[in-house]
Amino acid sequence: MNLRRWTAVIAIHLLAVQARAQADSGAVFVVRLGGDTIAVERATIVGRRAEGAMWLRTPPSLVRQLVELDPTGGAERATTTVGRGARGDSALKRLDVTVAGNSGTAQPFDASAPAPLPSQRIAVPRGAVPFVNLSGLSVELMLRRARAIGGDSADVPLLLGNGGTIAARVRRIGSDSATITLGGVELRTRTDAQGHLLGGAVESQHVVFERLAASAPTGAWTPTPASYAPPPGAPYVAEDVVVTTAAGLRLAGTLTRPATRAGARLPAVVLITGSGAQDRDEATPAVRGYQPFREIADTLSRRGIAVLRLDDRGVGGSDAGPATATSADFADDVRAAVAWLRARSDMDPRRIGLVGHSEGAIEAPMIAATDTSLRAPRTRSRPCRAGCASSPSTIRSLPHAACARLR
């Protein structure tokens, strides 16, 4: 082969390497629920190293992933960190897993834990990849691992944030699409010839993934913090407040306060969230626009009742507190909210009530049992007894009942 031909071969090889490097250099994944952006992720996979930074809208947080891959696309080491706020200023949780064979060592971190958490030995199926909900990087790692396994269908083990594992079924459809089924939910994806994720949709949840070029500016899509301002023309104001609990935790929230004449004292309600980490609106990302506590606050405040709703521990602007907290501790948080309202000169301490949902519907009677001056302990979605509203459909009746009891 002459020099000119060798030069041509080398040039073609270099172009192929450059194209492959560009294909693997990175992407921006935008996740939308309906027309609303709920997550934006900048991800890169170069060689056997994958990195991702995902901004979540609710609660405002930054999730970082760092994955070292084996030659088959499984994880040799994976670190996932969840930080508070859009910049992830302080780490709330982290899990660092090192894999060897069919097992691994997990080192967890929880900012709310009273003491450092010990490392643990965990079972990790061979070829597992880390999974973070709404992460395009996680989806692409699944697709790549399935291609390495081969065949039209493959079960890809996933490593969860709690150290557990679950399997996802990846089914290839031709050369440009695949479905991923996880927990009965199907994600339909579009891919290129190399298996890169181009886009996808979870039709049952109205969630859409879109891949943008790595050079795309993320500022235009980065989720903005939720706004708790009242709607235009509302006959009340919304105050950003902080309630300090008996345990010294600072809980961020919103007080909607109706307009009133000078010197008048208002009746008030504290809303108590259900189980799991909830923001003050009890917003559900999978159901667009579903913010039941915002709706209750709006309805009551339009009828002359102030409403205090708080972010749960570790959500939004609230301190996390110990990971061992129970319903009794959460009930103490509500007692602190009641005391905070009673200390205000514009609130009537004799007309304060509670509205609880799910676990909050269990806590409301606990609090009322030790504070007989509470006027309106109302509940929804709990086992029914006399005086309790148990069906979720009764949300519309709660403002009427609360108004009647607080007057």
Distances (CA, A) of 340 to 307, 350, 352: 12, 13, 11
Residue 281: closest CA among 253, 242, 300: 253
Please state the length of the chain. Answer: 407
More confident site: 188 or 289:
188
Distances (CA, A) of 382 to 63, 204, 280, 295, 310: 33, 27, 20, 20, 21
Q: Inform me whether the pLDDT recorded for 284 exceeds 80.
A: no
Q: Inform me whether the pLDDT recorded for 287 exceeds 90.
A: no
3 state SS of 80? strand
Confidence at residue 198, expressed as pLDDT on a 0 to 100 scale? 94
Q: Is 26 left (phi over 0), alpha (psi -120 to 50) or beta?
A: left
3 state SS of 369? helix
Quick check: 102 and 123 in contact, CB under 8 A?
Answer: yes
Burial of 143 (0-12, 13-18, 19+ CB in 10 A): buried
Q: Inform me whether the pLDDT recorded for 395 exceeds 80.
A: no
Q: Inform me whether the pLDDT recorded for 127 exceeds 80.
A: yes
ω before 59 within 30° of 0 (cis)? yes
Q: Right CATH number for 236-406 from 3.40.50.1470, 3.40.1280.10, 3.30.1180.20, 3.40.50.1820? A: 3.40.50.1820
| Phi, psi (degrees; rounded to nearest 5) at 221 | -110, -10
More confident site: 231 or 21:
231
Whole-prediction pTM value? 0.62
Mean pLDDT along residues 128-132: 96
Q: What would the two tokens of residue 344 be? A: 């205000």
Mean pLDDT, the chain, rounded, equals 83
Confidence at residue 260, expressed as pLDDT on a 0 to 100 scale? 79
Amino acid identity of residue 109, one-letter, is: F
Q: Inform me whether the pLDDT recorded for 404 exceeds 60.
A: no
Confidence at residue 314, expressed as pLDDT on a 0 to 100 scale? 79
Burial of 115 (0-12, 13-18, 19+ CB in 10 A): exposed
Query: Beta strands 347-357 and 266-272: pairing type?
Result: parallel
CA dihedral 117→119→122→128, nearest 10 degrees, is 90
Mean pLDDT along residues 50-58: 89
Residues 67-79 pLDDT 10s: 999 999 999 999 9
More confident site: 379 or 369:
369
Q: Is residue 289 very low, low, confident or very high in pLDDT (cuts 50, 70, 90)?
A: confident
Show Cβ contacts of residue 207 under 8 Å, excluding neighbours closer than 6 positions: 31, 32, 33, 38, 134, 201, 286
Structural domain boundaries of the chain? 27-213, 236-406
Q: Is residue 290 very low, low, confident or very high in pLDDT (cuts 50, 70, 90)?
A: confident
Distances (CA, A) of 215 to 25, 28, 199, 219, 340: 10, 8, 17, 12, 49
Residues 301-343 pLDDT 10s: 999 999 999 999 878 778 877 878 899 999 999 999 999 999 9
Confidence at residue 253, expressed as pLDDT on a 0 to 100 scale? 95
CA atoms of 139 and 203, how far apart (whole Å): 16
Confidence at residue 378, expressed as pLDDT on a 0 to 100 scale? 57
Confidence at residue 26, expressed as pLDDT on a 0 to 100 scale? 85
- The alpha carbons of the chain give a radius of gyration, in whole angstroms, of 25
Per DSSP, 325 falls in state -
3 state SS of 368? helix
- Among 233-247, 359-373, 389-403, whose mean pLDDT is lowest? 389-403
- Among 13-22, 82-91, 340-349, 395-404, whose mean pLDDT is lowest? 13-22
Residues 169-227 pLDDT 10s: 999 998 899 999 998 999 999 998 777 899 999 999 899 999 988 777 666 555 556 78
More confident site: 287 or 109:
109
Q: Inform me whether the pLDDT recorded for 138 exceeds 70.
A: yes
Confidence at residue 113, expressed as pLDDT on a 0 to 100 scale? 75
Residues 344-376 pLDDT 10s: 999 999 999 999 998 998 999 999 999 988 875
**Chain mean position to CA 76:** 26
| Phi, psi (degrees; rounded to nearest 5) at 7 | -60, -40
Mean pLDDT along residues 107-113: 82
Tally of CA atoms within 13 A in the half-sphere of 266 that contains its CB:
23
Confidence at residue 20, expressed as pLDDT on a 0 to 100 scale? 43
CA atoms of 96 and 94, how far apart (whole Å): 7
| Phi, psi (degrees; rounded to nearest 5) at 239 | -105, 135
Per DSSP, 353 falls in state E
What residue has token string 């007989």?
A: 372
Quick check: 201 and 126 in contact, CB under 8 A?
Answer: no
Residues 1-45 pLDDT 10s: 444 443 343 333 433 434 443 445 589 999 999 878 889 999 999
More confident site: 112 or 21:
112
Q: Inform me whether the pLDDT recorded for 388 exceeds 50.
A: no
Per DSSP, 311 falls in state P
